[in-house]
Structure 1
Amino acid sequence: MEPSSSAGPITDEWVEKHFDHLSPELARDFHPTLARARSRCPVARSDQHGGFWVVTRYEDVLRIAQDWQIFSSELGITVPNAAGSGSGGQMKILPVGIDPPLQRTFKRLINAHFTPAKIAPWEQPTRALVTRLIDDFIERGECDFMAEFARPLPGLAFFDLTLHAPAGDLEEVNGWATAASLPDAEKARECLMKLAGWIAGLIEGRRKDGPKGDVVDAVLAAEIEGRPITFEEAVGTLQLLVLGGLETTAGVLGAAMLRFCADPELFARLKAKPELIPNAVEEFLRMDGSFICIARTARHDAEIDGHSVKKGESVLMYWASANRDEAEFPDADTFDLDRARNRHVAFGAGPHRCVGSNLARMNLRIALEEIVRRLDDVRLAPEAEIDFHSTFNRAPLSVPITFAPGERS
């Protein structure tokens, strides 16, 4: 019989036996709880939601991510939905929901459209978008950084530069995509349906108008197990590409602003030495990466650090915990611009590592360059309350800030 609830304060027993990734208490006390798990039970068996394993140590997380032959994405995993109703389901979304060798064939088609050389021409229009977003609030001396900058940026850039969406659709479809990533379950479902409908229309339009040489064309030309990709699979794949890069990038930007407000010296150092911003991007990704965990299913009986995992059991591995493991990152809870070795797993690892990592890094770098150049005296707004949504992605819901009013470009 499944436990009725894991609500209540987080205790050692909670961490060891009742770990619940949907718990509001975990969202509020996230990194300290993961640190407790690494220390007490780096591989733990939770009795919540039908039972699953929780893995928090860097070495174990990396091995599971790379061992697709035992820990599969293809078999699917049943997890509660974000509404916390306890219901779950299985979904195969390409290429995340398949394993090699087919996964490699399909992912290769997508990878070709996100190489450094491919995205380099997007730098100037991305900087222009960043400039426009900052211009919209810089004279006021205040804004909700998440609503007015962090969330609009990645989606508007992606729909325009990657999918070549019609200019008149950008604001509306980005609004749907953003809402689909947030914790209001009813609105998220509604917006997911609208987004899927828009993508379906984009595909139909592309088939009529002809190819543009972009990732949409690559998806439409893909073959799955020797047959052409279906219409539904194409929609799902493009939807995953959209959602995979929006709230994840927004979450890192929001966390970066929170760090700037808490540590003015960090902000000042980057303003004085913007050449350090690429290093800062990597530390923000390591410490505050918003892609926090992912699930796998054991294809066979296996062992993780002496624990026997049975065929068919679910394993939840925490990238966010691995990235603060002292065994891999000395002084792991310190934001270190001079960190010599930073093999973080903010983009995942193994064959399913995030295809958009180059794009995310570029967006973060350009955003931080313009933020530290143009804003001064950045502070959290008085009486600001910072809450995070936190299940498989983690991001602040709102980051109200004040700053010295500036001039539009």
Structure 2
Amino acid sequence: MTASDHRIPQPLADSLATPAAYADGTIHESYRWLRQNEPMGVAKIEGVDPFWVATRHADILEISRQNDLFHNGDRSPTLTSQAVDKKVREMMGGSPHLLRTLIHMDAPDHHKYRALTQAWFMPQNLKKLEDRIRVIARASVDKMAAKGGECDFVNEVALHFPLHVIMEILGVPESDEPRMLKLTQELFGAADPELGRGGQAATFVDAPDRDFDFGVIVDFSNYFRALSEARRANPTDDLASVIANSQIDGAPISDLEAMSYYIIVATAGHDTTSSSTGGAMWALAENPGEFRKVKADPSLIPGLVDESIRWTTPVKTFMRTVTADTEFAGRSMKKDDWLMLCYASGNRDEAVFEAPDEFRVDRKPNKHLAFGYGAHLCLGQHLAKMEMRILWEELIPRLESVELAGEPANSQAVFVNGPKRLPIRFKMA
């Protein structure tokens, strides 16, 4: 790693790998300093390979455009300690990946595997699902209304609505949804004392076994292997049947790749949407003026959706690997250097967003980076935005007022996080 003069101050570097910093919001203080003083610095953290840190919107965008120069699959695409990396490579025959999803792939494989399900997530196909999604959304609002004026919006509404939608698309029975939710929370919240399997707070480096719980992967794979066998024997019109019977270059995809595909759809397909939905309600409860704006003008709902995605930015970080010696943003990068994209920082970049720390339902333009950019632009972005739009179209007209009724909390995670608890008091029309 080069550029020792661009080393990030140790407390700020450590915060980048501290799950609790993403829960209590102190990561935004680190990001603010880095954008102003060291927007492309080097983090050196004990127990972790050194990595570049991109915090400005323009740099994140440019790195995301250059998919040949900045790879996903050469090293772990999520921040990983040296102990975990060693363990994974031993288990996986030298590969740094426990899974092989779209986020672990580069060209030409990435395009081929993305094409297997891409049509399912395009707007023209999703239109066919709109009526069904509206029925599910209406049921979610009815359930909230029946709570009598108080509820934990995350655990009683936001988690279950997108979960039900994606499981129905995938072909998972409703009776198995609680299991899918628990496994998702254990996967993304491995370091969170309330969500992870260990039941205690985990630092990033001190608890490598908690960083990425292999047992969760095994449980997911066992479930989807049985589903896959059933869909190969009796295909239906769900997404599981597409994955189970997929072929690349005339040959069936491997078990690892099939299980990986199921797992990313079954986790990212709802978790990030529920986080943004919870983030929206949290912001509306704290900003009654913004709630009144969208209440008075429902045409602002798409703006509310985009702003809540920017505000929450559920996918906080992704890693890239430099494929050749290069000059970028005034820095000399070497082949195999590791690099962190800080999306939540890019989405609060003062150079792009006016008053970035304010929640504005009418923010225009809103060029947030929460879905990524370039070849790895989120496959499910249209579905996520449609689900959220429909939920708010059903909820806002019936919601008279909302306020916090206790202390909300975010999950502790460096990769994907969002609200895990949101007690609210509300009045329905």
Partners of 2:130 and 2:196 lie apart in 1 by: 34
The match for 1:20 is 16
Deviation at 1:167, TM superposition (A): 4.1
8 Å CA contact retained: 1:300, 1:310: yes
User: 1:61 — aligned with what?
Assistant: 60
In the alignment, which residue of structure 2 is the partner of 1:142?
150
In 2, the alpha carbon distance for the partners of 1:386 and 1:132 equals 25
Which TM-score applies when normalising by structure 2?
0.84
**Cα distance in 2, alignment partners of residues 223 and 15 from structure 1:** 48
Distance 1:189 1:261, change over 3 A: farther
Distance 1:78 1:173 in 2: 23
Is structure 2 residue 226 aligned with structure 1 residue 201?
yes
CA distance 1:167–1:255, shift in 2 (3 Å): closer
Q: Which amino acid aligns with 1:20?
A: L
> For the residues of structure 2 that align with 1:107 and 1:78, how far apart are their CA atoms?
17
User: In the alignment, what sits opposite 1:120?
Assistant: 127
Q: 1:80–1:335: structure 2 CA closer, same or farther, 3 Å change rule?
A: closer
Alignment of 1:341 onto 2:390: no
After TM superposition, the structure 1 stretch with the greater mean CA deviation from structure 2, 165-174 or 231-240, is 165-174
The alpha-carbon deviation at position 281 of structure 1 amounts to 0.9
1:3 aligned partner = none
Partner of residue 328, structure 1? 352
- Counterparts of 1:30-69 in structure 2 under 5 Å? 30-48=27-45, 49-69=48-68
Q: How far apart, CA to CA, are the structure 2 residues paired with 1:278 and 1:250?
A: 16
Residue aligning to 2:162: 154
**1:156-178 deviation line (CA, Å, top 9, x unaligned):** 11011x11223443444344334
Q: How many percent of aligned residue pairs carry the same amino acid?
A: 27
Q: CA deviation at 1:101?
A: 2.5
Cα distance in 2 between the residues matched to 1:85 and 1:296: 16
Distance 1:86 1:24 in 2: 20
Q: Does 1:282 align with 2:282?
A: no
SS of structure 2 residue aligned to 1:279: helix
Q: Is the 8 A contact 1:180 1:191 kept in 2?
A: yes
User: Of the candidates 327, 342, 345, which is equivalent to residue 318 of structure 1?
Assistant: 342
Alpha-carbon shift at residue 298 of structure 1 (Å): 1.2
SS in 2 for 1:401: strand
Q: Does the aligned pair in 1 maintain the 2:16–2:27 contact within 8 Å? A: no
Q: 2:100–2:256: 8 Å Cα contact kept in structure 1?
A: no
AA paired with 1:125? R
Mapped to 2, the partners of 1:399 and 1:225 lie a distance apart of: 47
Amino acid at match of 1:70: L
- What whole-Å deviation, never above 9, does each CA across 1:283-324 have from its counterpart, x for those lacking one? 112222211210011111222211122211210011111122
**Any gaps of 5 or more consecutive residues in structure 2?**
1-7, 89-95, 199-212
By how many angstroms is 1:191 displaced? Answer: 4.4
Q: Using the TM superposition, give the Cα deviation of residue 356 of structure 1 relative to its aligned residue in structure 2, in angstroms.
A: 0.2
> SS of the residue aligned with 2:401?
coil
1:173-230 deviations in whole A, cap 9, x for unaligned? 3443344333343266554433322211111110111242x43333334344663201
Query: What's the CA shift for 1:110?
Result: 1.6
Cα distance change of structure 1 residues 14 and 23 upon mapping to structure 2, 3 Å threshold: farther
221, 244, 250: which one aligns with 1:220:
244
Match of 1:374 in 2: 398
CA distance in 1, matches of 2:175, 2:269: 21
Per-residue displacement from partner, 1:32-63 (whole Å, max 9, x unpaired)?
A: 32111101110110111121111101111111
Deviation (angstroms), 1:20: 2.9
Q: How many residues align?
A: 390
Match of 1:9 in 2: none
> How far has the Cα of 1:71 moved from its partner?
0.9
Supply the distance in 1 between the matched residues of 2:336 and 2:49 (Cα, whole angstroms).
12
**Alpha-carbon distance change, 303 to 221 in structure 1, aligned in 2, over 3 angstroms:** farther
Unaligned runs of 5+ residues in structure 1 are 1-11
How far residue 372 of structure 1 moved from its aligned partner, in angstroms, is 1.6
Distance apart, 1:347 and its partner CA: 0.4
Q: CA deviation at 1:16?
A: 6.0
- Are residue 87 (structure 1) and residue 84 (structure 2) matched? yes
Determine helix, strand or coil for the equivalent of 1:311.
coil
Q: Is the 8 A contact 1:129 1:153 kept in 2?
A: yes
Alpha-carbon offset, residue 18 of structure 1 = 4.5
Structure 1 residue 336 displacement after superposition: 3.4
Go from structure 1 to structure 2 and tell me whether the alpha carbon gap of 1:377 and 1:190 turns closer, same or farther (over 3 Å shift).
farther
- 8 Å contact kept, 1:320–1:346: yes
CA contact (8 A) 1:43 1:304 kept: no
Distance 2:256 2:78 in 1: 23
How many Å separate the matches in 1 of 2:103 and 2:305?
Answer: 25
Distance (Å, rounded) in 2 between the aligned partners of 1:228 and 1:137: 44
Task: Check the 8 A contact 1:159/1:174 in 2, yes or no.
Answer: no
Quick one: distance in 1 between partners of 2:377 and 2:174? 31
- Separation of aligned partners in 2, 1:71 and 1:226: 29
Q: Distance in 2 between matches of 1:33 and 1:107?
A: 35
Q: Equivalences for 1:252-401 in 2 at 5 Å?
A: 252-382=276-406, 384-401=407-424
Distance apart, 1:254 and its partner CA: 1.4
